[in-house]
């Protein structure tokens, strides 16, 4: 399976036609069965025509209005290019009316399913009106393996990834947006750790570059990468593909099933409670 992860710059484009051209070009250049866009990449739609810096509230309101049209545009592109897409997230209303950071998985046949971020960052909690999502779905897109999605900070919490793996998903998508090198490094390390723990593949897509009019993405640092557990089926460092730091583009890889005989942490996961019995210091040294 050919897969691609985007290091993607968000910008204030002049109109919807310009956004359609941008997304059409990006998906064509991905040249993959599954193309993954980052967290908040959907803000391209919210920023159309913006010429001065927006507040978080203003940008959020624009995103809510733009979201349905943005998803429909992605669905048309996915169908035209026969590519399944994880569309970039943006603030949107869910079925209960809650305001969430929502990504869309769009199949090559145009079907749309949604994923909401569950673990909001301290900045999102303090500076935005977003609420945490509740569901933890897995998906079976046509022609692709079962997969799950953890949006940025979600991917730093191993029990969420473990639940997705236990549900039979060997492919984990991690769309992300981080402001500086430390955050980008932290999320990258989390992605590689989730690959080690799951024995599957983890796809990291991140925003890059500066966008002066955006309150959410005025500055983005990161890279795209596709990771596996370091073992016989993968490179010794587990990195199947990466972009250069802070440079727009696609990381691409061909994913293959993991052969039998590789070290598999998942097979021994439930023995941890047996091996992790702690001996109090005083008793140990009595």
CATH architecture of structural domain 2-284: 4-Layer Sandwich (3.60)
pLDDT band (50, 70, 90) for residue 262 = low
pLDDT at 276 over 90: no
Percent of the chain with pLDDT over 90: 85
Kindly state the average pLDDT of the residues 24-36. Answer: 98
- What tokens does 219 get? 């500055």
pLDDT for the residue 124: 97
| Nearest residue to 172 via CA among 251, 225, 234, 231 | 225
pLDDT band (50, 70, 90) for residue 24 = very high
Lowest mean pLDDT among 69-83, 145-159, 244-258: 244-258
Kindly state the average pLDDT of the residues 275-279. Answer: 59
Three-state SS for 57?
Answer: helix
| Nearest residue to 204 via CA among 1, 37, 10, 42 | 37
Distance CA 212, CA 267 (A): 47
Kindly state the average pLDDT of the residues 37-63. Answer: 98
pLDDT at 60 over 70: yes
Q: Strand 171-176 relative to strand 147-149: parallel, antiparallel, unpaired?
A: parallel
Exposure pattern of 134-172 as b/e (b: 16+ CB <10 Å)?
eebbbbebeebbebbbbbbbbbbeeebbeebbeeebbbb
pLDDT for the residue 285: 52
pLDDT at 282 over 70: no
Average pLDDT, the chain: 93
Distance CA 181, CA 200 (A): 26
Kindly state the average pLDDT of the residues 63-76. Answer: 98
pLDDT band (50, 70, 90) for residue 269 = confident
Residue 193 phi/psi, 5-degree rounding, is -70, -40
| Nearest residue to 246 via CA among 190, 177, 195, 192 | 177
Kindly state the average pLDDT of the residues 235-246. Answer: 95
pLDDT for the residue 259: 65
Distance CA 199, CA 225 (A): 16
pLDDT for the residue 281: 59
pLDDT for the residue 266: 73
pLDDT for the residue 265: 73
Distance CA 255, CA 138 (A): 19
Kindly state the average pLDDT of the residues 256-283. Answer: 65
pLDDT for the residue 231: 78
- What tokens does 135 get? 């569901």
Distance CA 141, CA 60 (A): 29
Q: How many helices (H) and strands (E) does the chain have?
A: 8, 14
């Amino acid at each position: 399976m050919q897969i691609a992860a985007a290091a993607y710059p968000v910008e204030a484009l002049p109109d919807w036609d310009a956004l359609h051209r941008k997304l059409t070009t990006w998906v064509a250049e991905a040249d993959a069965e599954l193309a993954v866009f980052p967290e908040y990449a959907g803000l391209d739609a919210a920023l159309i025509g913006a010429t001065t810096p927006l507040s978080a509230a203003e940008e959020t309101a624009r995103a809510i209005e733009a979201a349905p049209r943005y998803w429909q545009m992605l669905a048309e592109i996915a169908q035209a290019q026969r590519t399944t897409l994880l569309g970039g997230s943006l603030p949107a209303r869910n079925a209960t009316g809650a305001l969430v950071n929502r990504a869309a998985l769009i199949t090559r046949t145009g079907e749309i399913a949604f994923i909401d971020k569950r673990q909001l960052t301290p900045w999102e909690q303090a500076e935005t009106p977003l609420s945490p999502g509740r569901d933890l779905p897995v998906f079976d897109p046509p022609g692709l393996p079962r997969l799950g999605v953890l949006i940025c900070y979600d991917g730093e919490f191993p029990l969420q990834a473990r639940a997705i793996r236990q549900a039979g998903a060997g492919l984990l998508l991690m769309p992300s947006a981080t402001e500086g090198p430390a955050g980008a490094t932290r999320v990258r390390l989390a992605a590689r750790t989730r690959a080690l723990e799951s024995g599957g593949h983890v796809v990291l897509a991140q925003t890059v570059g500066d966008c002066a009019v955006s309150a959410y993405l005025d500055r983005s640092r990161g890279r795209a990468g596709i990771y596996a557990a370091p073992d016989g089926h993968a490179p010794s460092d587990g990195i199947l593909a990466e972009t250069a730091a802070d440079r727009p583009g696609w990381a691409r890889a061909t994913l293959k099933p993991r052969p039998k005989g590789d070290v598999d942490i998942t097979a021994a996961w439930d023995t941890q409670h047996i091996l992790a019995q702690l001996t109090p210091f005083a008793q140990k040294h009595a």
